[in-house]
Structure 1
Amino acid sequence: MNNLNENVAHLSWCALVALHINNTQSPSQNAAQEDLFLLRWLIQAQRQKRFSREVADSLNDMITFSRQLSRTIRIKRHLLTLWNEYSRLNTEKFCRSECQADI
């Protein structure tokens, strides 16, 4: 697991938490409104340089991807995929190291 994957996963997690907080304040959001919120959040994160330089290219790719495909691909689904993939790989790595320690 490299540092870039960890930072991109952290970016995804932060965006999903921001969306969740927004949804608790405005519960009647549909998927299009969620995509708009996430796109704006990603753009603001890029402008404010909230994340490390390592993530800058990935963040820019997410914004471009979101603008181009927002009607067919949901941003939330993409972020969840990134986070879940990182979590799965990290869990497998942890399990392998625990199994080796037991032997």
Structure 2
Amino acid sequence: MTTPHAPTTQDLAHFSFCALVALHISIQDGLVTSPLGEHLFLVRWLATAQKQKRFTRRLAVDIQLLLDKGRRQGEKAQLKKDLIFLWSSFTGDKTTHNDLYRLAEAIKQLNTQGWENILLDPPNSEPEQQADSVESPVFYVAKQALTDAFTEQGVLIAPISFQIVGDAQAFVARLAEWHFKTEITTISPNRAQVTLVLRPDTITPITP
């Protein structure tokens, strides 16, 4: 499930690949010779890509976030590292990793796309009071529920519910990229609850 404005796996993989190839060519040509040079090149490349509309409109938010981060943090932004992360995440075989690893990587990608994640502690804390004042998309999850949901081997053994403030369909689409099944309950136009659904092989049978 994706929204018209949510970038697909192919979008992000193609975008990060183009950026890294352009940087590599400039390094080979001797135009970029230092980490600072790499940073300045990527900021200029992102600005040019945005101005010339080189990529699908679905990537507009991702490009803007990377550009803002690069301009705000300077060399510390580590844009090259972000692009490598995007490329490796979207081209590797995600099914070979355990559930905990895949969820952590999905959350990292959501963070890169501007999502904020907040752990609720105690678990009965409610995000309602904060929802109206949230400016960026955010998702809440109970810290204890997150801890109890996985075995030591990183296998998901209990459903996890996330409270979403923002585009819930985009949130679900990102989890789907990492092979998670979800159930979504709409609370209001800007709020929803998304629950990770267990695979049949991880459900423990009840003994009579």
TM-score, normalised via structure 1 length: 0.78
Within the alignment, does 1:16 sit opposite 2:20 as a pair? Answer: yes
**Greater displacement, 7-16 / 19-28:** 19-28
Q: What is the aligned partner in structure 2 of residue 56 from structure 1?
A: 60
Return the letter of the residue paired with 1:50. R
Identify unmatched segments of 5+ residues in structure 1.
94-103
Q: Superposition RMSD on alpha carbons, in Å?
A: 2.2
Task: Note the C-alpha offset of 1:27.
Answer: 6.4
Pair 1:46–1:28, CA change in 2 (3 A): closer
Consecutive aligned runs of 4 or more in structure 1 exceeding 3 Å deviation: none
Separation in 2, partners of 1:60, 1:73? 14
Q: Which has the higher helix share?
A: 1
Q: What is the aligned partner in structure 1 of residue 38 from structure 2?
A: 34
Q: Is the 8 A contact 1:23 1:29 kept in 2?
A: yes
Within the alignment, does 1:45 sit opposite 2:49 as a pair? Answer: yes
Q: Is the 8 A contact 2:35 2:75 kept in 1?
A: no
Q: Which has the higher strand share?
A: 2
TM-score, normalised via structure 2 length: 0.41
Alignment length, in residue pairs?
Answer: 92
Higher relative contact order (CA 8 A, sep 6+): 1
Pairs within 5 Å for 1:24-103: 24-26=28-30, 29-88=33-92, 91-92=93-94
Separation in 2, partners of 1:92, 1:35? 29
Task: Note the C-alpha offset of 1:63.
Answer: 0.4
**1:28-80, CA deviations, whole angstroms, 9 ceiling, x for partnerless residues?**
61100001001100100000000001011111111011111223231111110
Identify unmatched segments of 5+ residues in structure 2.
96-208
Return the letter of the residue paired with 1:7. D
Separation in 1, partners of 2:32, 2:56? 33
Determine what percentage of the aligned residue pairs are the same residue.
35
**Greater displacement, 20-29 / 48-57:** 20-29
Return the letter of the residue paired with 1:41. W
Pair 1:27–1:60, CA change in 2 (3 A): closer
Q: Is the 8 A contact 1:31 1:74 kept in 2?
A: no
